[in-house]
């Protein structure tokens, strides 16, 4: 898999801190990035599963 084509999903259980934003900025660079905010009311878990299966890599932050 070429690095440029990697699909990466960032999942947040709470609002990201500046440290997390910095790390995500580096991790997402030149990649096809998506995100999902679990801390919003009534997350749609079916959509989250779809996103996880569409991604090559998932990171779920605190």
Chain contacts with other proteins (rule: CB under 8 A): 3, 11, 13-14, 17, 19, 22-23, 25-27, 29, 38, 43, 45-46, 48-50, 52-53, 57-62
The least CB distance from residue 32 to other proteins, in Å, is 14
For residue 2, CA distances in Å to 7, 8, 32, 33, 50 come to 10, 13, 12, 15, 22
Nearer to other proteins, 2 or 3 (CB): 3
The least CB distance from residue 7 to other proteins, in Å, is 12
């Amino acid at each position: 898999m070429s690095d440029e084509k990697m699909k990466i999903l960032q999942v947040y259980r709470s609002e990201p801190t500046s440290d997390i934003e910095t790390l995500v900025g580096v991790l997402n660079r030149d990649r096809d990035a998506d995100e999902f905010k679990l801390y919003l009311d009534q997350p749609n878990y079916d959509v989250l599963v779809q996103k996880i299966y569409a991604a090559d890599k998932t990171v779920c932050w605190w």
